[in-house]
Amino acid sequence: MKMTIGEVAQAINANTENFDKAMLDESLTGVCFDSRKIQTGQLFVPLVAEHDGHDYIDNAIAGGASATLWASDHADRLPLTIPALVVDDPLTAFQQLSKYYLDKINPRVIAVTGSNGKTTTKDMIAAILSSTFNVTKTQDNFNNEIGLPYTILQMESNTEFLVAEMGMDRPGQLDFLSKLARPDVAVITMIGEAHIEFFGTRDKIADAKMEITHGLKADGFFVYDGDEPLLTERAQQVDESVIKSTFGRKDSNDVFATDSKDGQYQTQFHVNLWPEIDFTIPMIGDYNVNNALAAISVGRIFRIYPQMMADKLAKFDLTKNRTQWLSGSKGERILSDVYNSNPTAAKEVLTAFKNTTTKGRRIAVLGDMLELGTQSKAMHASLADALDPASIRVVYLIGADMDALYEKLKPVYAPENLHYYQADQLDELTSDLQAELRADDEVLLKASHGLHLENVVAKLVK
């Protein structure tokens, strides 16, 4: 983002009476809402949540902030050394500024959501489009009401495509995000159990996911899993001017895989439209083929050459801790998939993991899957179907609801190969796991982010 203070003030209708108007011509180089990460020349956005961002203005100024948004109800303590753009609510102004900047740069917008696979699909789409266009994509987990405006405002002026991941944990959230970004293409990867605590049923999750089409441009495209009845039913309600494109495994889809083959660290497949081309993705799991099919569907819309899509998918940049292979300090292979988890995703990665080739043992470390509501215990116990001592020798479980799986596995696993820890025993789990691992072993770590298994991964790879 490169704008003057005056342009920002005008875009958000801010009050600028508290500072010298000559400062309106000064340039801003970006935005930041974390005073610890502010860089010289940026606009500080003091958000109010668990902490009040206004309390950290001195840190932001010391870090190099050139200006700040400022809530009108905090006017009694305006900063004196940098311009303060006074608004009713900094978050609303932040979102308004992102909408202005999006209109100014005017890229084509690809919006991606889904219960599983949205980050991987976003990464794949960005890789495919980058073969021909200048692309900005969502980084890390910036996929909500704060993250989407931040992503938009990170765009360089030459951005031609914005690939925006959109998360959801309540009704109405995707409606807001979609209307903010006004996508040219909306993608739904699949419907699972993620956030079922807040929605109750998969039907209601599907209703909420469909909100991503609410801001879709009239001449836009809706790309979705054609094997999912909940989506095919609801797709009929989308405006007739929107072009619909389906992907999946059934030959009734517009884009479907004709076969797939899991390798040790990659998956190969073919696509109905170009049977002569070999597609490869650098990650295991047949379920990831569907994510690739969604990305290929988007590439097809924008006429990317099929071989070029295959080349990009073979080496795309995967976001950290999403089915990521790493080398451990003892030589063991680590499959890190610790950003999030739900029953569908956990079963899929367990199935892929137990089909790998290894000279040593397969060890699974599984943490609680959050936001599953009253069905949580039963859903955790259901993972037992994907675990057996013949293929996954040792199991480590952590978290309150993983107790249900522990009880289910007790008759199946020898006591020395089945371990259970409370959520606050992460250090004990790490120490025990480090003592257990051998050079030829493979270890899978999978949990919702709230369990912080990424800290275990960090210690294993040291």
For the segment 258-278, the average pLDDT, to the nearest whole number, is 94
- Alpha carbon distance 445, 264 (integer Å): 17
Residues whose CB falls within 8 Å of the CB of residue 427, separated by 6 or more in sequence, listed in order: none
Provide the annotated binding site: 114-120
| pLDDT above 80 (res 194) | no
| pLDDT above 80 (res 96) | yes
Residues 9-20 have pLDDT tens digits of: 999 999 999 999
Q: How far is CA 217 from the centre of its chain?
A: 23
3-state secondary structure of 296: helix
* Beta-carbon-side half-sphere exposure of residue 161 (alpha carbons within 13 Å): 23
Residues 140-188 have pLDDT tens digits of: 889 999 999 999 999 999 999 999 999 998 999 999 999 999 999 999 9
DSSP state of 317: -
Furthest C-alpha separation in the chain? 76
Residue 292 in tokens: 């690739």
For the segment 352-367, the average pLDDT, to the nearest whole number, is 95
- Alpha carbon distance 10, 203 (integer Å): 43
Residues 99-114 have pLDDT tens digits of: 999 999 999 999 999 9
- Alpha carbon distance 257, 313 (integer Å): 15
- Beta strands (DSSP E) in 52-121 are 67-71, 84-87, 108-113
- Alpha carbon distance 258, 49 (integer Å): 49
Can you give the pLDDT at residue 323? 86
Residues 400-434 have pLDDT tens digits of: 999 999 999 999 999 999 999 999 999 999 999 99
Can you give the pLDDT at residue 112? 98
Can you give the pLDDT at residue 171? 94
Whole-structure pTM value: 0.93
Residues whose CB falls within 8 Å of the CB of residue 63, separated by 6 or more in sequence, listed in order: 35, 36, 37, 38, 39, 40
Can you give the pLDDT at residue 142? 96
Percent of the chain with pLDDT over 90: 91
Percent of the chain with pLDDT over 70: 100
Residues whose CB falls within 8 Å of the CB of residue 61, separated by 6 or more in sequence, listed in order: 79, 81, 82
Under 8 Å between Cβ of 111 and 185: yes
Q: Which domains does the chain have, with CATH numbers?
A: 3-88 (3.40.1390.10), 106-313 (3.40.1190.10), 324-460 (3.90.190.20)
| pLDDT above 90 (res 222) | yes
Can you give the pLDDT at residue 279? 98
Indicate the pLDDT class of residue 192, thresholds 50, 70 and 90: confident
| pLDDT above 80 (res 196) | no
For the segment 290-297, the average pLDDT, to the nearest whole number, is 98
- Alpha carbon distance 49, 34 (integer Å): 12
For the segment 266-287, the average pLDDT, to the nearest whole number, is 96
- Alpha carbon distance 85, 15 (integer Å): 6
Under 8 Å between Cβ of 89 and 69: no
DSSP state of 21: G
| pLDDT above 80 (res 195) | no
Residues 301-340 have pLDDT tens digits of: 999 999 999 999 999 998 887 889 999 999 999 999 998 8
Neighbours of 291 (CB within 10 A): 29
Indicate the pLDDT class of residue 235, thresholds 50, 70 and 90: very high
Give the angle 383-343-314 at the CA atoms, nearest 5°. Answer: 110
Under 8 Å between Cβ of 46 and 131: no
| pLDDT above 90 (res 52) | yes
Can you give the pLDDT at residue 200? 83
Residue 164 in tokens: 């925006």
- Alpha carbon distance 6, 21 (integer Å): 9
CA distances from 139 to 123, 125, 136, 151 (A): 9, 13, 9, 7
Cβ burial of 424 (10 Å; 0-12, 13-18, 19+) is exposed
Can you give the pLDDT at residue 415? 97
* Beta-carbon-side half-sphere exposure of residue 48 (alpha carbons within 13 Å): 12
Provide the annotated binding site for ATP: 114-120
Task: Report the chain's mean pLDDT, rounded to a whole number.
Answer: 96
Residues whose CB falls within 8 Å of the CB of residue 10, separated by 6 or more in sequence, listed in order: none
Residues whose CB falls within 8 Å of the CB of residue 383, separated by 6 or more in sequence, listed in order: 343, 346, 347, 350, 366, 405
For the segment 26-43, the average pLDDT, to the nearest whole number, is 97
